[in-house]
């Protein structure tokens, strides 16, 4: 997810934080400090309520992370590659590259998430029973039990891209044998759930609950956008799957020598021809990519004396073989925020495919869809309404 930074690594998976995560932490802590904890029976001061709110918000996201790790571990056990887990304002998302995935894989990967949330809810509920009533730790445990229960129940809802929607898709996929058809069904159900949430949010706002109504409405808007995007992606994938990348790639791409200076790259290729990134070749073999970003990392005074080979982005790079299809290329570019991919055979550069090449193919009519033809957890908890243990 663009706009995120790496926090660390857990069980071999990169954990990333999106900048909107900070806003989520503040909103949850704020609602708990002003609403839930003052009403929990723990007679403490405003500063303590804010500290408890911050601790509870962080522990809630830790629960979301455990939920996502569960998805990722099952995905890894089923032979899928997990690139990272990103926490953001609405919860978390596992970036799972589903290679040769089956309906059974999808079902197992998806169903484990809500189960983990229910287990966590029970765990925090038991902790609350062991703690003194009307105490600060009891109030935190009570909130986390409720929030995890709500997270599990919400993700059971059969609306794509929630876990329940992915379970629904896996079932329809298993029955029909058509993943695109299953995605279409699950996404329409997901949009139905999204519109219900938006309507509920509007009613909450009209009844005076501005914060709760806006939160629910934004979740509905997010679900609707995700469901519609997933359906469109499935349609495009159906059109592009099986079409070799060699059908659209540039067989004679502009490439750079490692001995070219950064100044020459900027002047001759960036300014004159508008290239933002080009492959770098040495003795016929791909050795890196030189981009405008790489040049910006270098002081402009050194452009004339620094060679491309010294500052380029080196191997390993995101790339494909000529045997790959266009659907795989487009997915790889979108998932990694890339505009082009080198096509390599036995280490030698044989071509480059770009997003523009794919769009040109679709717009040409050759890839026009015919008529009929990564997993997310959303936090919907409203903290201020949580009952204490």
Could you give the residue numbers annotated as active site? Answer: 68
Coil, strand or helix at 242: coil
Angle at 335 between CA 93 and CA 2, to 5 degrees: 65
Q: Which two tokens stand for residue 114?
A: 């809500």
Would you give the distance in Å from CA 17 to the centre of its chain? 11
Can you spell out the DSSP letters for 143-162?
Answer: HHHHHHHHHHHHHHS--TTS
257 strand-pairing partners: 281
Q: Which two tokens stand for residue 336?
A: 């990694």
Burial string for 188-197 (b: 16+ CB within 10 Å, else e) reads ebbbebbeeb
Burial class (CB in 10 A: 0-12, 13-18, 19+), 373: exposed
- CA atoms of 13 and 97, how far apart (whole Å): 13
With CA atoms as reference, report the closest residue to 169 among 110, 240, 91, 94: 110
* Tokens 């993943």, residue located: 179
Strands 277-282 and 256-257: parallel
Burial string for 8-23 (b: 16+ CB within 10 Å, else e) reads eeeeebbbbbbeebee
């Amino acid at each position: 997810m663009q706009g995120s930074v790496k926090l660390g690594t857990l069980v071999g998976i990169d954990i990333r934080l999106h900048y909107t995560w900070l806003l989520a932490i503040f909103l949850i802590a704020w609602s708990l400090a002003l609403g839930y904890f003052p009403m929990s029976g723990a007679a403490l001061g405003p500063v303590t309520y804010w500290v408890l709110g911050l601790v509870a918000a962080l522990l809630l996201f830790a629960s979301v992370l455990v939920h996502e790790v569960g998805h990722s571990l099952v995905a890894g056990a089923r032979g899928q590659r997990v690139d990272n887990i990103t926490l953001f304002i609405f919860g978390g998302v596992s970036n799972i590259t589903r290679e040769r995935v089956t309906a059974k894989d999808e079902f197992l990967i998806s169903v484990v998430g809500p189960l983990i949330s229910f287990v966590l809810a029970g765990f925090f509920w038991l902790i609350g029973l062991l703690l003194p009533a009307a105490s600060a730790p009891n109030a935190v445990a009570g909130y986390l039990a409720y929030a995890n229960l709500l997270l599990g129940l919400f993700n059971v809802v059969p609306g794509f891209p929630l876990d329940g929607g992915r379970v629904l898709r896996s079932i329809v996929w298993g029955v029909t044998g058509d993943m695109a058809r299953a995605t279409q069904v699950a996404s329409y159900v997901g949009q139905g759930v999204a519109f219900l949430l938006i309507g509920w949010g509007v009613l909450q706002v009209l009844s005076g609950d501005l914060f709760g109504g806006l939160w629910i409405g934004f979740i509905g808007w997010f679900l609707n956008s995700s469901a519609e995007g997933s359906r469109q992606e499935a349609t495009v994938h159906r059109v592009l799957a099986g079409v070799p990348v060699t059908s659209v790639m540039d067989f004679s791409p502009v490439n750079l020598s490692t001995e070219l200076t950064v100044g020459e790259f900027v002047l001759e290729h960036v300014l004159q021809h508008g290239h933002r990134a080009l492959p770098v070749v040495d003795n016929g073999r791909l050795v890196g990519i030189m981009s405008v970003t790489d040049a910006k990392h270098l002081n402009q005074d050194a452009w004339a004396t620094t060679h491309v080979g010294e500052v380029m982005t080196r191997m390993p790079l995101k790339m494909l073989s000529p045997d790959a299809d266009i659907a795989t290329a487009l997915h790889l570019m979108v998932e990694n925020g890339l505009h082009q991919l080198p096509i390599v055979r036995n280490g030698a550069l044989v071509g480059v495919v770009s997003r523009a090449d794919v769009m040109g193919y679709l717009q040409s009519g050759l890839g026009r869809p015919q008529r009929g033809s990564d997993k997310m957890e959303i936090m919907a908890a409203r903290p201020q309404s949580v009952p204490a243990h």
